[in-house]
Amino acid sequence: MHPMLASLRGLISYSALASLVGALLACLLWLTGAGSLPAATLFALPFSLCFGLVVLSAYHVCRSLPFAGHAAFNAVAVRGGACLVAAVLGLLLGLGWNEASQAMMHSGPALELAPSWRVALALASGTAYLLSILAHEMHAAALAAREATDRAQQARLLARDTELQLLRTQIDPHFLFNSLNAISALTRLDLPAAQAMIVDLAEFFRHTSLVATQAAIPLADELALCTHYLRIEQHRFGPKLQVDMQIADAARPAMVPPLCLQPLLENALKHGIRQLDDGGTLQLEALLRDGWLHLAVRNPVDATATSALPGNGQGLRNLRERLASLYGNRARLAWQQHDGHFTVELALPFEEATRS
Amino acid sequence: MSTTLTALIADDEPLARALLRDYLRSHPDIAIVGEADNGLQAVKEIGRLNPDLVFLDIQMPKLSGLEVLEATQRRSGVIFTTAFDAHALKAFDLHAVDYLLKPFSPTRFDEALRKARALCGEAQPSVDALLADNSQRLSRVLIREREQVHVLPVDTIDYVEAQDDYIRIHAGQRAHLKTQRLSDLEARLDPASFVRVHRSYLINLACLVGLERNGSDGYVACLRNGQRIPVSRSGYERLRQVM
């Protein structure tokens, strides 16, 4: 069944189109003196409606014989043959119907189908069929192209999901071993501080592996994770790292993607504060406005640094894509370097946890 | 037999430095004369204090541990420390250069110190070999100008000219002198970006805007900044292969 004829709307469109072609054919027949207008209409309309079905049948020919490399010649030959058959069919159908209608309408004059008209009818039938084949092929190609892009998109999302899983469960060796070294130092210099740092390290890794399987977590949890992380870094870097967190109470229950903030803090330290002789202040801000959650991470940067983007910006781009796949165009991620500071801003629709 | 040895600690984490200080307490014949928390400061302090021993963290801000050695020309009395760097450590293992993996025990530390003491004063050819290791592509070139160390990102270099024992590196408006052979620098740069077009010239392909014939068998490379660099026949072949 041709997809066009499968729905009521399709049927109506088909009838309208076929009728239009029939009307045009009728006019042509009448103007060229093949017969009176009523006779021409009586011939052309039913003919057009019937032959239209033949034209639509090109769909089945195209579908059954796709162009596939070595079979291409076959495909072309069959389509060419089908056009010829359609041409002959059109001619026979036209002549046959003309005779039949003549027999039915005893009173009405028949159409004079001169040889030139017969040729024209055959040619038109064949051409109509050819155009139908082309139209069906183009449609099939467009569908295939869309499918291909969809598949590519799916593959990308899947890859990113895997990367995300890895990100969540991977332990950065630099971070781990430097932290353990710091703890080792503290065991000889300041035992209570060593114990505090051990707990912070354990809690940080516990949190990151817990959120690994969740699609969204409350901002409060992400902030807890970040706080453990920053306390560890403050042990390592001492007074060079100052932290300033401004979190609106109303923002704490907002659902966010796990590890949307912590990697931003890592960037801020690795590419910003760590490069400065005197260190600096890392600012973290969260607030609600008009149903949107606004998050911002700000850090000073070395003004003479050649690149504005931390580590060529891949992490930021990945985060942006992650947000796009989760929120479509309702999420916004922007970053800029201005006046010796680097700022990353995130805006998400405010959503609270749904009660289970 | 034991004269006091002077030592410098270079590490950007205060606790890492504190740990080394603490470990050194059981070695009264070693006096800590200075500390540095980044690569540039390490270069300065090494130049100023000329310590017998340097505890050098491989990953530091500004300059890495290896870049510090390159900039100071120091080859002896170095104990490397690192938390993790699988990539670089392969080269260390290859050239049998000792390093301490953080966190390390007092025993491990003592052993490294013993080895360093034994070699003290003698240049370590293994360190030379490590620094000359061509497997690591340069992303920046270090230039020592009196007390200053310039860090030149490789993509800002327009072309390099060889002059006797040294090379002149042209980057933008400025030219820098460096004691190095042109072929040594050539070996450390990405051959897809930098081509030796002449015995005395190396150009950055990104700066090349045109190539003209010059006489019967020579060519001239026209650079973005208007400079015209002679191209030898073999240089022309090399250019053709890359482009």
For residue B15, the chain A residue with the least C-alpha distance is: A182
Specify the long-range contacts of residues A132-140, CB closer than 8 Å, at least 24 apart: A132/A55, A132/A56, A132/A58, A132/A59, A133/A58, A133/A61, A133/A62, A133/A79, A133/A82, A133/A83, A136/A58, A136/A59, A136/A62, A136/A63, A137/A62, A140/A62, A140/A63, A140/A66
Q: What's the whole-number mean pLDDT along residues A15-38?
A: 86
Cβ pair B103:A186 closer than 8 A? no
Residue among A130, A147, A111, A125 nearest A26 (CA): A111
- 3-state DSSP call for residue B164? coil
| Residues of chain A above pLDDT 70, percent | 92
Range A336-351 average pLDDT: 93
Lowest mean pLDDT among A99-103, B44-48, B75-79: A99-103
Of B51, B55, B47, B45, give the one whose Cα is nearest residue B24.
B55
Average pLDDT over residues B10-39: 95
Q: Is B63 within 8 Å of B54 (Cβ atoms)?
A: no
Asked if residue B103 has a cis previous peptide bond (ω within 30° of 0), the answer is: yes
For A69-111, the pLDDT digits (tens) are 667 788 888 888 888 998 898 888 888 888 887 777 665 556 7
Give mean pLDDT, residues B38-61.
93
Mean pLDDT of chain A: 86
Q: Average per-residue pLDDT in chain B?
A: 88
- pTM reported for the whole predicted model: 0.68
Query: Where does chain B show beta strands of DSSP type E?
Result: 5-10, 30-36, 53-57, 78-82, 99-101, 140-145, 148-153, 159-163, 166-171, 174-178, 194-198, 201-204, 208-214, 218-223, 228-231
Note the pLDDT of residue A251.
Answer: 95
> Which residues does A145 contact at the CB level (< 8 Å), separation at least 6?
none
Percent of chain B with pLDDT over 70: 98
Q: Which residues of B touch A275 (CB under 8 A)?
A: 61-62
Chain B residues with beta carbon closer than 8 angstroms to that of A306: 153
Across the interface, which of A177, A182, A183 has its CB nearest the CB of B84?
A177
pLDDT of amino acid A164: 67
pLDDT tens per residue, range B186-239? 888 988 899 999 999 999 999 989 888 888 778 898 988 888 999 988 888 888
Tally of residues, chain A: 356
A51 pLDDT exceeds 90? no
Cβ–Cβ below 8 Å for A274 and B12: yes
Chain A residue nearest residue B57, CA to CA: A178
Structure tokens at B214: 């010059």
Instruction: Note whether A189 contacts B22, CB cutoff 8 Å.
Output: yes
pLDDT of amino acid B84 = 86
Confidence band, pLDDT 50/70/90 cuts, at residue A155: confident
pLDDT digits (tens, 9 = 90+) for B157-170: 999 999 888 999 99
Q: Shortest Cα distance from B151 to chain A (angstroms)?
A: 11
Q: What is the pLDDT of residue A166?
A: 66
Residues of B in contact with A277 (CB under 8 A): 38
Q: Which of B14, B19, B61 sits opposite A184 (nearest CB)?
A: B19
Nearest to B15 among A182, A274, A306 (CB): A182
Burial class (CB in 10 A: 0-12, 13-18, 19+), B165: exposed
* Shortest alpha-carbon distance between residue B205 and chain A (Å): 21
Q: Which of B19, B38, B83 lies closest to A185 in CB terms?
A: B19
Q: What are phi and psi of B209, to 5 degrees?
A: -110, -20
Beta-carbon separation of B103 and A181 below 8 A: yes
Token look-up 């250069």 returns B97
Asked if A186 lies within 8 A of B84 by C-beta distance, the reply is no
Lowest mean pLDDT among A35-44, A151-160, A277-286: A151-160
Residue in B14, B38, B101 closest to A238 by CB: B14
Pair of tokens at residue A104: 């039915």
**Closest residue on chain A to B100 (Cα):** A181
- pLDDT score of A356: 47
Q: Could you say which of A236, A277, A306 has the minimum Cβ distance to residue B13?
A: A236
pLDDT tens-place string over residues A281-299: 999 999 999 999 999 999 9
Per-residue model confidence (pLDDT) at position A167: 65
> What local confidence, expressed as pLDDT, does residue B135 receive?
65
pLDDT for A355 equals: 57
User: Lowest-pLDDT range, A108-122, A301-315, B68-82?
Assistant: A301-315
How many inter-chain contacts (A to B, CB under 8 Å) are there?
A: 56
Q: Which of B15, B84, B89, B152 would best serve as a mutation to test chain A binding (most A beta carbons within 10 A)?
A: B15
**Cβ atoms of A51 and A68 closer than 8 Å:** no
pLDDT tens for residues B123-158?
A: 778 888 888 776 677 888 888 887 788 888 888 999
Distance from CA of B63 to the nearest CA of A (A): 10
Interface residues of B toward A, Cβ cutoff 8 Å, are 12-16, 18-19, 22, 38, 59, 61-62, 83-84, 101-103, 153
Nearest CB partner across the interface for B102, out of A181, A189, A235: A181
